[in-house]
Amino acid sequence: MPNLYILPPLLVFLQFLQMKLTFAINDRKKAKQQKVIDVGKKSETPEPSAMQTQQRMMLYLLPLMIGFFAIKFPLPFPSTGACPRSSLSGSR
């Protein structure tokens, strides 16, 4: 059962990386479109918008949820690496 120890952490890491890169690209596109001019230093820190909060939750919770599903639900083929159809082709 090495797939149980290798695939779920790999899936979690890759999903987190993919989400992080996607959100970074979107943020960069928005910054280019807005071209905000800084007129001075503000004393208050801006509150995150609802969309930023939702993206932050998705960034951390979605990879964990996928990792949980990967642990709880088995792979559709055996961990030996053999294709499931190869055992059926000899039975005809």
pLDDT, tens digit, 9 for 90 and up, residues 20-45? 999 999 888 888 877 655 566 665 66
In the chain, % of residues over pLDDT 70: 67
Amino acid in the structure at residue 29: K
Domain ranges of the chain: 16-25+51-71
pLDDT value, residue 68? 92
Q: What is the distance between the alpha carbons of residues 71 and 8, in angstroms, rounded to a whole number?
A: 6
pLDDT value, residue 16? 95
